[in-house]
Amino acid sequence: MSRPDQGAPTRPRWHWAGDTLVLVELGAVIDPVVNRRAVALAGAIGAAAVEGVRDVVPAYASVGVHVDPLRFNQDALEAVVARAWDVTGPGDDRAPVIEIPVCYGGIFGPDLSEVAAFAGCTEAEVVARHSAGRYRVYMLGFLPGFAYLGGVDPSIAMPRRSSPRTAVPAGSVGIAGRQTGVYPCESPGGWRLLGRTPVSMFDPQAARPARLAPGDIVRFVPLPHDRFDEAGKGRQG
């Protein structure tokens, strides 16, 4: 398989990243077209049930294939990748839009004023610009259920903090440059916090533990602060 260009992918290439992971690379960009191909390719690999494949994980512009090296059929995987690449196009973002309510600012979004100053606008305008976006889930990582969403309006794309917080509350909605995301549990983190959602983003007991999956489309909906508890009760699970 050939090495992809820096922009639009030509053909995927793959290489070993350790003794139990094969990395199939499509490019070196954050781009919705490339990511749609990665998600489609991951689905095709998973459906093929190649011997020795334990898990398939799509990322921004690659697919991680976790394998049992003692059982893995390398030739079969390469054939599946080649065949899937020829039949799976980039497609369109036709997934239903998943709405996530967010209480912006105040105790829920301590960095909202800083982002407004960075953007040279009011806090209300930051909220309007952030909630106007339709964000693609590019990949999950960092924490179970943490979805990397893109792309944030460039005018409010403030870089992450130089010094991360030691504890970010679960449900916090933050931005880091052109990315946005929701912390599924309390953890350290350096993203700029705009608000917080009462919705649970990860439930290990659920049939689908992570609320979001690669390829989903997300919209954030402003929620009055006094409705935080009420909205949470109706949207768990």
Give the pTM. Answer: 0.87
For the residues of 34-93, what is the DSSP string, one character each?
HHHHHHHHHHHHHHHT-TTEEEEEE-SSEEEEEE-TTT--HHHHHHHHHHHHHH------
In CATH, which superfamily holds the domain spanning 97-234?
Answer: Cyclophilin-like (2.40.100.10)
- pLDDT for 74 equals 86
- Coil, helix or strand at residue 12: coil
- The alpha helices in the chain, defined as continuous H runs, are 32-48, 74-87, 112-119, 123-132, 228-234
* Listed range (143-157, 178-192, 219-233) with the worst mean pLDDT: 219-233
- Taking only the tens place, the pLDDT of each residue in 78-124 is 888 888 887 766 666 677 899 999 999 999 999 999 999 999 999 99
Tokens of 195: 């608000």
CATH of domain 13-87: 3.30.1360.40
Residue whose C-alpha is closest to residue 2's, from 16, 20, 14: 14
Domain boundaries, the chain: 13-87, 97-234
